[in-house]
Amino acid sequence: MTAGWTEDRVGALKKLWLEGQSASQIAKQLGGGVTRNAVIGKVHRLGLSGRATPSQPARAATTFRPARTRTTPPVQPSAPRRIEAAAPAPRPVVPPPPIAAVAELPGTATVMTLGAHMCKWPIGDPSSTEFSFCGRRASEGVYCVEHARVAYQPQIKRGGKEELARSLRRYI
């Protein structure tokens, strides 16, 4: 039995993923012979990668991966399937804490209606029923222009917690 991704399952996947559940945990909860690889694969296909709520571990994409090369026969020298892979595309590692730090209007998207090209900036408590997403057109990465500015902060001036708190405070 191949577990097709029904809307129900996709919805559950989105919910759990954005709640901060790990891929393996989600796979276990979904059951039906779904592996964590399947979950991760689906997450990426949905454009949900780079979630805003990291789990317990801080292990995301810490460093750039040159990607794997299993048994790649030298097909053709000039066959770049992914141009982006060559460039160190700046990706948001961890956005500011969304919980209790969002003083914006409620998002227009819910976990069920959130599309692949909608801003995935979380608004509110993920465990709350009022939890929503910005939902505007995703411009830069998974966020809209406005939120991309926050997520893609080039760097935060070092100076300890005080500086960090001050930096984040500019957006709340």
Q: Is 117 in the site for DNA (CB under 7 A)?
A: no
Q: Which stretch binds DNA (CB under 7 A): 55-63, 99-107, 123-131, 141-149?
A: 55-63
SS3 118: strand
Size of the site for DNA (CB under 7 A): 42
Q: Which is nearer to DNA, 71 or 129 (CB)?
A: 71
Per-residue x/- marks for DNA, 7-26, CB under 7 A?
--------------xxxxx-
Burial class (CB in 10 A: 0-12, 13-18, 19+), 23: buried
Q: Which stretch in 63-71, 118-126, 137-145, 153-161 sits in contact with DNA by CB under 7 A?
A: 63-71
Does position 78 interact with DNA (CB under 7 A)? The reply is: no
DSSP 163: H
Tokens in use for 11? Answer: 């919805």
Tokens of 1: 């039995």
Q: Which stretch binds DNA (CB under 7 A): 81-89, 96-104, 127-135, 140-148?
A: 81-89
- Dihedral (CA of 145, 86, 91, 113) sign: positive
Which is nearest to 57 in space by CA: 20, 13, 9? 20
Min dist. Cβ of residue 96 to DNA (A): 18
Query: 54: part of which helix (H) or strand (E)?
Result: none
Cα(51)–Cα(95) distance, integer angstroms: 9
Residue from 11, 12, 19, 36 that binds DNA (CB under 7 A)?
Answer: 36
Q: Does 29 bind DNA (CB under 7 A)?
A: no
**How buried is 64 (Cβ within 10 angstroms: 0-12 exposed, 13-18 middle, 19+ buried)?**
exposed
Q: Which residue, 69 or 128, is less far from DNA as judged by CB?
A: 69
Residues that bind DNA (CB under 7 A): 2-5, 21-25, 34-38, 40-45, 49-50, 55, 57-63, 65-73, 81-82, 85
